Amino acid sequence: MQRIFTPEAMLPEGWSKDVVIDVDDRGGIAAVRARQAPGAAETAGGPVIPGMANVHSHAFQRAMAGLAERMGSPEDSFWTWREVMYSFLKQLRPDQVGAIASQLYCEMLKNGYTAVAEFHYLHNAPDGKPYANRVEMAEQHLLAARQTGIAITMLPSLYAYGNFGEEPLAPAQKRFAGSPDSILGMVSALKKHIGDNPDMRLGVAPHSLRAVSPAMLKDLVAGLSLAAAILARDAGVIQNLYGRRAATRVGEREWLI
């Protein structure tokens, strides 16, 4: 058992003075008490706040850091960055994705992030075909989370179209391909791996309004946590097509831009 003393900590009831935090042998917080003497406790270097959550992670992109941070031409944009990303992911195997996720989650923990929402859309093999184990890639993230100790919400992402108007996926996007049925199947399979682990949760994540139709959204809603990734790069296009306050209604839910 490790004991840490901090002159000030953010607790559920607000900022508190002279706080002692007991940490168990697994690294979990066993007890927190305010208005305590430091005694023999290790003193924290400053105020202590709760761990933060990274609520939008694509873990595999950590390993492409440095490949697209320089402007190659005045025409460079998000879309040229995306081409670099497509080229990079052609070579990624499941074990490599697991190693990348483990490194990333360690870095998150070292920098105060104790939970991550993994928007996972790298589902398929490099040729675009599903792995024999449909959740091969997702399992690598769960394993990385379990090994590093970070809490994870796994969000298999539905990515069915290449652009607005239900355009077919480009060849470089075939690793992302999925359907409502395949995503729901992944969730069902992943439940068996998570069991009753309180640090692991499941949901679904429609990738964007470009990549998912309203009909597909309806098929994902029932019984699931719904996380909508309405990306900033879509907003201008949507406003031009549908007006400034564009909305798509899914059952009783409405997502606004």
**What pairs with residue 25 in β-bridges?**
none
Q: Which two tokens stand for residue 180?
A: 């409502």
Residue pLDDT, tens place only, 193-248:
899 999 999 988 899 989 999 888 888 876 564 444 443 444 444 444 434 443 44
- Residue 243 has a pLDDT of 42
Domains of the chain with bracketed CATH: 2-43 (2.30.40.10), 52-226 (3.20.20.140)
- List 119's β-bridge partners, or say none: 155
Contact 51, 15 (CB under 8 A): no
| Cβ neighbours for 227, distance < 8 A, ≥ 6 positions apart | 117, 119, 155, 203, 204, 205, 206
Query: Tens digits of per-residue pLDDT, 31-83?
Result: 999 999 999 999 998 899 999 999 999 999 999 998 888 777 888 888 888 99
Q: What is the dihedral of CA 80, 85, 88, 93, to 10 degrees?
A: -160
Q: What is the pLDDT of residues 107-149, one digit of tens each?
A: 999 999 999 999 999 999 999 999 999 999 999 999 999 999 9
Backbone angles phi, psi at 256, to 5 degrees: -105, 145
| Angle (deg, nearest 10), helices 214-221 and 180-194 | 30
Closest CA to 96 of 143, 147, 142, 140: 140
CB 203 within 8 A of CB 229: no
